[in-house]
Structure formats: C-alpha cells, structure tokens
Amino acid sequence: MKHELVQARDATGMRLRGQNSMLCGYYRGFAMVTNLNSKARCYDVVIWAARPGADMTQEANQWLADYAAQHPFCTGGSYNGQLLVAQVVIDKKRDITAQSLLTFYNDAAGWLAASGMASCCESCGAPDAAIFSMGGKLHAICPRCLEQMSQTARAEQKAAPGNLPAGIAGAILFSLAGVALWVLVNRLGYIAAICGLVLMVCAFKGYEKFSGKLDTPGIIACILVAVCMGMVSQYICVGLDIHEVFGEYGVGLLDCMRAVPGFLFDPELALFSDYLPDLLMGYAFMALGSFSFVRNALAAQKHGGFLVEKLAERPGGAAANPYTTNNTYQ
C-alpha cells in the first residue's frame, strides 16, 4: 500500500520532499503545501489564495468552519488574508487518508476559484510566484520580491553586530564536546573518526552563539577550528595510549601528554604512521558529513544568512522566473 502522500502526488502531480513528509506544488492553479504534523496526528494543508481588492477573511473562515462541521476528516482551519490552513486527520488506513487529502484539495480549490481567489505573490500580488522555503519558513513570492527580501536581509546582517574573536572562542569551547566524544569512542575501541562531523557542527553552533551572527569569515573560522580540534583529539588519544603503557611505572598523565611529540616522531617507534590514518579518516568523515551543511551555510550568506530553496513553481512560469536553474540558490 502506497504512502498517502505518494498517492496524493500521483493524483495531483505535486512533488514530494523530506522523506515523504511534505507534498508541495501547484494544483488546479493554487500553490499548496501539505506538511506532516506528527504531534497532532494530522496533515497541515497550506494554500496561498487572495482576491485582489477584497478581504475574504470572514468568508474563508466561515467556509472552513462549515466544511469541518460537515467533514469529520477536517478538524478545523483558518485564513489570514493570504494563507488558508486546514488540518486533515491521519487515518489508520493510508488509502483513506489519501482520499481525504484529495477531497479537501478539490473542494478547497473549487471554492477558492468560485470566490474569485487565486495564488499570487504574497508581497506584491504578482502572478509569477513560486513556493520557497526561506530560513525554514514557507513563502509564495515572485522573483522580484525574493531579491528585495534578500537585499534587505543582507543589509541587516551586515549592520548586525558580530564579534569574530568571541565567535572563535565559542567555537573552541563548544568543539570540546566533540573532542570528548572522539576520545571516549577511541577509548572504547571503536573508530573515533566518525566523530569528525560532531566537531564541525559543535564549532558552528559555538561560533554563532558567541559571535551573534554567522558570516563568511565565521564559517572559515569554524572550519579551521574543527580541523585543529581534530588534531587535539588525536593528540589526546596518543597521550592516553602512552599513559596506559607507562602509567604503571609511575609516569603521570601530564608527562605522557608532553611526551607525545617525542614518541610520534621517533623513527624507531614509527608511531606517526600508525596514528595518522585515524586522523585522516576523521577529516574524511568531517568533510563528507559536513559538506552539505557548510555548503548551505555559505549559500545562505547570499541571502542575508537565510537558506533559500525553491520548492515548486507555477506550471508554465519558468520563463518569467530567473531563479529556475537551481533548487537552492547560491
């Protein structure tokens, strides 16, 4: 039995995103997004619709109230002048849930069209709007308003106070959690390199927390901090291994840590070649695991710190939209 959103996709032509948790696109001329609301055990259906020169808030809210009273699968909804939002319950049977969604799509689109409403740019009312995710929030906007919003966000980001030294200190402080995890995993006998990604994420979080904003210099600083803390992690692992051998002879832990360079670069011991692969593997995990994370952080800088992703566009609107070459704008 197909997932309910897969069935809805096949019936409407909209697109699935987020591991079958979001369905978005244009259906019968209206921009729609259906999101899984696991807490309420329902789907939140969002439809952008407005009527030029008229406030349809009262009529739309009354229609939603009447519709919910007549259809048990709809538990309610609201309209704010631009967005119509309704909740469709999740049935135990996927086929029933899919049919409930399709019924609501058709009934809502039919009423909206009959009321003279249409999907348009939520900022200027232009018809060439597309559905975007901007910093995790959904918008239906045209390319001109998207550029204006990006310019405003870039100006605000530039004007916002930031503290590079404090950010670096925060990145180092937070990355200590990644160092601790790296060392712990190593002591348990597992490949500690898998903790490389944790180091990178902790560095980013710490920088943003202490600096107040994450900009391009901050991203570069976070990468450098993560790389350096990877070396620190492996250094500590070597020191602990030395202490495990010489501790029984009364050699203290600090003395073993100070002795790490001598042991590593002693040509007779050849320890450097034994420990280097673990460090390089850690960097490999760091690079592979954080590639999309870092890429998105850099892409967001061109929109004032917000990642902008196009989810869907109006059919036939590609020629009017200069942002159609990529899904995520860089």
Q: Quick one: pLDDT at residue 21?
A: 85
Q: What is the Cα–Cα distance from 11 to 13, expressed in whole angstroms?
A: 6
pLDDT tens-digit series, residues 35-65: 999 899 999 999 999 998 899 999 999 999 9
Question: Do 167 and 208 meet the contact criterion of CB atoms below 8 Å apart?
Answer: yes
pLDDT tens-digit series, residues 162-219: 788 999 999 999 999 989 988 888 788 776 657 778 888 899 999 989 988 888 888 8
Q: What is the Cα–Cα distance from 278 to 3, expressed in whole angstroms?
A: 42
pLDDT tens-digit series, residues 124-174: 888 888 998 887 788 898 889 888 888 887 787 777 777 889 999 999 999
Question: Do 53 and 86 meet the contact criterion of CB atoms below 8 Å apart?
Answer: no
Write down the domain spans for the chain: 4-155+309-320, 160-304
Q: What's the chain's average pLDDT? A: 86
Q: Under CATH, to which class is 4-155+309-320 assigned?
A: alpha beta
Split at pLDDT 50, 70, 90, the class of 317 is low
Question: Do 101 and 34 meet the contact criterion of CB atoms below 8 Å apart?
Answer: yes
Split at pLDDT 50, 70, 90, the class of 108 is very high
User: In which element (H, E) is residue 62 found?
Assistant: helix 57-70
Nearest partner of 305 among 95, 157, 184, judged by Cα: 157
Q: Mean pLDDT throughout 71-82?
A: 93
Q: Quick one: pLDDT at residue 112?
A: 96
Q: What is the Cα–Cα distance from 91 to 97, expressed in whole angstroms?
A: 5
Split at pLDDT 50, 70, 90, the class of 280 is confident
What percentage of residues in the chain have a pLDDT greater than 90?
45
| Residues whose CB falls within 8 Å of the CB of residue 193, separated by 6 or more in sequence, listed in order | 278, 279, 281, 282, 284, 285
